[in-house]
Amino acid sequence: MNDVIVNSVIEADIEYLVNGSGCDVLVIFAHGAGANMHSEFMEQLAQGVGANDVQVVRFNFPYMRANVLDGKRRPPDRAVKIILDFNQQIKLLKNKFCPKKVILMGKSMGGRMSAIVAADTSVDGVICLGYPFIPLKGGDPRLAPIVECAAPLLVVQGERDKFGNKGAVNTWPEMEKVNVHWLTDGDHSFKPRKASGLTLEANMALAIAHCQQFIEKIKGS
């Protein structure tokens, strides 16, 4: 994987991590429920996508910003609070970087929030990495954000993802018009089983390639 310089930027007491140097496309990368913007998954994807002449910016949602300050683990904020904060970050980052195109990218919960925000906020694309289709406690699949997303949408999903595996997702009519790429034997973090003969590194590289191809199409649109 290419070595990409990461810059840490402080704006309004919020830390942002910036990968890449492209000026035309800004990818705003939102973390999942249980791991913040510094996680290994977030770092690898940001480096890989940022190596393709785009800027990838990471930030923490409010509950994770509080965790950084005092070290106390907290559950995710309610969706209303996360969406409000997300829109504030988008506005701030658009003004700071002045990109021609803006793409929202998110891991798990971050991808779901990206799709929700894109229903009412002007962005050029959405990338969901391990979309949390099925709540952990069970229930109906979370398809409304995907159906109502107003921007082109890419879903990159592990075939064994407990939040929505290939066998289940492919049966939902709502997904027929969605750009979905499956990672062979991958779990929610794209990790395959040893018996598959595959590696996490290979699946991560493929996930990055799918993201890069999607972004290239957005650039040319």
For the segment 138-162, the average pLDDT, to the nearest whole number, is: 96
**pLDDT confidence bin for 7, thresholds 50/70/90:** low
Amino acid, single-letter form, for residue 6: V
In this structure, of 1-10, 57-66, 110-119, 157-166, the range with the lowest mean pLDDT score is 1-10
Q: Is 116 or 8 the better-scoring residue by pLDDT?
A: 116
- Per-residue 3-state assignment (H helix, E strand, C coil) for the chain: CCCCCEEEEEECCEEEEEECCCCCEEEEEECCCCCCCCCHHHHHHHHHHHCCCCEEEEECCHHHHHHHHHCCCCCCCCHHHHHHHHHHHHHHHHHHHCCCEEEEEEECHHHHHHHHHCCCCCCCEEEEECCCCCCCCCCCCCCHHHHHCCCCEEEEEECCCCCCCHHHHCCCHHHCCCEEEEECCCCCCCCCCHHHCCCHHHHHHHHHHHHHHHHHHHHHC
**pLDDT confidence bin for 177, thresholds 50/70/90:** confident
- Predicted local distance difference test score (pLDDT) of residue 52: 84
- Predicted local distance difference test score (pLDDT) of residue 69: 86
- Is 203 buried (19+), middle (13-18) or exposed (0-12) by CB count in 10 A? buried
Question: Is the pLDDT at 80 greater than 90, yes or no?
Answer: yes
- Predicted local distance difference test score (pLDDT) of residue 2: 39
Amino acid, single-letter form, for residue 136: L
For the segment 22-26, the average pLDDT, to the nearest whole number, is: 86
Dihedrals phi, psi of 107, to nearest 5 degrees: -90, 125
For the segment 124-144, the average pLDDT, to the nearest whole number, is: 95
Best CA proximity match to 153, nearest among 202, 183, 185, 117: 117
Q: What is the pTM of this model?
A: 0.93
Is residue 151 within 8 A of residue 125, CB to CB? The reply is yes
Average pLDDT, the chain: 93
Query: How many Cα atoms within 13 Å fall on the side-chain side of residue 97?
Result: 29
- Predicted local distance difference test score (pLDDT) of residue 8: 62
For the segment 157-162, the average pLDDT, to the nearest whole number, is: 98
Question: Is the pLDDT at 216 greater than 70, yes or no?
Answer: yes
Per-residue pLDDT of 86-128, as tens digits, reads 999 999 999 999 999 999 999 999 999 999 999 999 999 999 9
For the segment 75-88, the average pLDDT, to the nearest whole number, is: 96
Question: Is the pLDDT at 3 greater than 50, yes or no?
Answer: no
Calpha distance 124→101 (Å, rounded): 6
Question: Is the pLDDT at 4 greater than 60, yes or no?
Answer: no
